[in-house]
Amino acid sequence: MTASQQVIAIFLVTYVVAVSSGPSIVTYIFGDSLTEVGNNNYLQLSLAKSNFPYYGIDYKGGMATGRFTNGRTIGDIISEKLGIPSPPPFLSLSLNDDAILKGVNYASGGAGILNDTGIYFISSFNLLCFSYSYCLITVTGNKSCGLFSGSNDYVNNYLQPFLADGQQYTHDEFIGLLISTLGEQLTRLHQLGARKMVFHGLGPLGCIPSQRVKSKRGQCLKQVNEWVIQFNSRVQKLLDALNRNLYGAKLAFADTYSAVWDLIHNPTAYGFKISNTSCCNVDTSVGGLCLPNSKLCKNRTEYVFWDAFHPSDAANVVLANKFFSILFPEPHPPSPTPLPHY
């Protein structure tokens, strides 16, 4: 691969790099549980795992793979839309494995911008992004690399009453910590050779089931959504500043808040019936994963959310289509429909 090859960087609540080399396309995915495909299965002590039923029930083979949904992730679907296989988890490969050149998924459930967030799940953002990003840049010789947004820094850190950050910092202080840390990480990636990055902001976290359950009437948490909007605004300003100060940097912000908001508040427009609770019926303020003893909904295609945190396969199709249209404006084949054996 050469520096003259076309490189496209994509951040969902995750990150995908698509490298076009002649007729072939290679994807590198960075993210959290929204796009993980099994990295945490190789982290023996990690608490953020989904390698048990009923995860993967609608994925090919019907078995859990480490994906935090009933079927495919957004990254899987975007790979399908690009006409390529979904890349394997990085930890399933050896560092000298040539398969790395054909695309890798680095996403790790529980990862966040702050190290504190990773420690909660015994997984580390810096470990799973910086070292892997360095591997990506040095092995492929590309100039595009990146980071993902900080949903876990809120949902599984600041908003958890038993963790220190929510007690130690006011929100203004916490968001300042997030932005300064993110700035350091983006600067480090620039030093490693990354140039083109598209950062997708947070969606309305106050409307996911794990947050709604904290409301007496099951409504969206207005305060949380206001914090998310504030975070997105600060990230935009950060990227503008980095573009001014870092040589050759082309950092862009993609606001996906409204797209996710519309899916949640107008589910019938997309073929769904329920968007305020999860198919697994595990909406709790602590926990919220779809355990083997969970009572599943009868029709999984009617639910936007699979568990208390993650979209269903059918919802991921909708979100992938929306994100794809932003990132790749040229005409492409339509996304595959959700798997039929529901």
Say whether 153 sits in a helix, a strand or coil: helix
The percentage of the chain sitting over the pLDDT mark of 70, rounded to a whole number, equals 80
Sheet with 104-105, side-by-side order of all strands: 6-11, 14-21, 24-31, 104-105
How crowded is residue 80: how many other Cβ atoms within 10 Å of its Cβ?
A: 17
Q: Can you name the residues that pair with 31 across neighbouring β-strands?
A: 14
Q: What backbone torsions phi and psi does residue 172 show, to the nearest 5 degrees? A: -60, -40
Give Dmax over CA atoms of the chain in angstroms.
56
pLDDT greater than 80 at residue 296: yes
- For residue 128, the model assigns a pLDDT of 45
- For residue 339, the model assigns a pLDDT of 52
Average pLDDT over residues 186-215: 86
* CA atoms of 342 and 338, how far apart (whole Å): 9
Q: Can you name the residues that pair with 105 across neighbouring β-strands?
A: 29, 89
Catalytic residue among 133, 310, 312, 313: 310
pLDDT for 114-132, tens place per residue?
A: 888 867 777 544 444 544 4
- For residue 3, the model assigns a pLDDT of 32
pLDDT for 318-334, tens place per residue?
A: 998 988 887 777 655 55
Average pLDDT over residues 48-57: 95
- For residue 336, the model assigns a pLDDT of 56
- For residue 108, the model assigns a pLDDT of 87
33 catalytic per annotation: yes
Between 15 and 260, the higher pLDDT residue: 260
- For residue 89, the model assigns a pLDDT of 93
Cα distances from 257 to residues 110, 126, 145, 167, in angstroms, run 21, 25, 23, 27
Q: What CATH architecture does domain 6-202+220-273 belong to?
A: 3-Layer(aba) Sandwich (3.40)
Question: Is 24 within 8 Å of 82 (Cβ atoms)?
Answer: no
Per the prediction, the chain carries an average pLDDT of 82
How crowded is residue 190: how many other Cβ atoms within 10 Å of its Cβ?
A: 20
Question: Is 44 within 8 Å of 80 (Cβ atoms)?
Answer: no
- For residue 115, the model assigns a pLDDT of 80
319 Cβ neighbours under 8 A, 6+ residues apart: 12, 74, 259, 260, 263, 311
Catalytic residue among 33, 86, 149, 210: 33
Q: What backbone torsions phi and psi does residue 305 show, to the nearest 5 degrees? A: -110, 135
Catalytic residue among 200, 307, 312, 313: 307
